[in-house]
Amino acid sequence: MSLPIAAVGAVLISLLETSVIPGLLGGGVKPDLVLVVAVAAAIIIGVEDGLMWAFLGGLMLDMLLPGRPLGATTFALLVVIGLAVVAARLLPQSPTLLAIGAVFGLSFLFQMLLAALLSATAGVELLPQPASSFLPIAITNTLVALVLAPIARMLIRRFGPQERMSW
């Protein structure tokens, strides 16, 4: 996948996460689409694509959601993507299964890190939502990853990785 496609996709996914998904789900648990797609892209497609999804998607989320300082979500996403890449390098498994498992585990870290960052920078109480809601969010993110990760893997197999110059 080329980086411009990842950039446009990150903007579209963050718009979808902030505008369409809350209207569809109402007051229920909402998935972190940018997190799911960024982790899947980093593990299945490549590090550069995952970082692009995380960086631009996080910036868009910070700009679209009220009360978030610019860069808080981006920082949390980049930390999580870094851990996903390390896990992908250390665990030689199927990239699809690894992406799904990583989404589940890293959803907790993302929620806690984002809560700590918002508490430190925006004056929000440390846990505006109870920590018990982290599990339903992680399960929802994993269900979304169950759909998106195989699609990403199938697209990469079909169209192949982007050729790059090796130095």
pLDDT at 12 over 70: yes
**Among 29, 105, 165, residue whose Cα is nearest residue 97:** 105
pLDDT for residue 26: 65
Q: Is residue 21 part of a domain?
A: yes
Mean pLDDT for 84-112 is 91
Q: Is residue 135 part of a domain?
A: yes
Q: Is residue 121 part of a domain?
A: yes
pTM of the complete model: 0.88
Mean pLDDT for 95-120 is 91
Fill in the DSSP letter of residue 65: S
- Percent of the chain's residues with pLDDT above 70: 89
pLDDT for residue 23: 73
Q: pLDDT of 25-46, one tens digit each?
A: 766 788 999 999 999 999 998 8
Q: Which residues contact 51 (CB under 8 A, 6 or more apart)?
A: 38, 42, 78, 81
Q: Is residue 165 part of a domain?
A: no
* CATH number of the domain enclosing 69: 1.10.1760.20
Q: Is residue 148 part of a domain?
A: yes
Fill in the DSSP letter of residue 131: G
Q: Is residue 167 part of a domain?
A: no
Q: pLDDT of 70-86, one tens digit each?
A: 999 999 999 999 999 99
Q: Is residue 78 part of a domain?
A: yes
Range of the domain at 96: 3-159
Q: pLDDT of 48-69, one tens digit each?
A: 889 999 999 999 999 998 888 8
Q: Is 123 left (phi over 0), alpha (psi -120 to 50) or beta?
A: left
pLDDT at 90 over 70: yes
pLDDT for residue 59: 93
Query: Looking at per-residue confidence, does 123 or 142 come out higher?
Result: 142
Give how many domains the chain has, as a whole number: 1
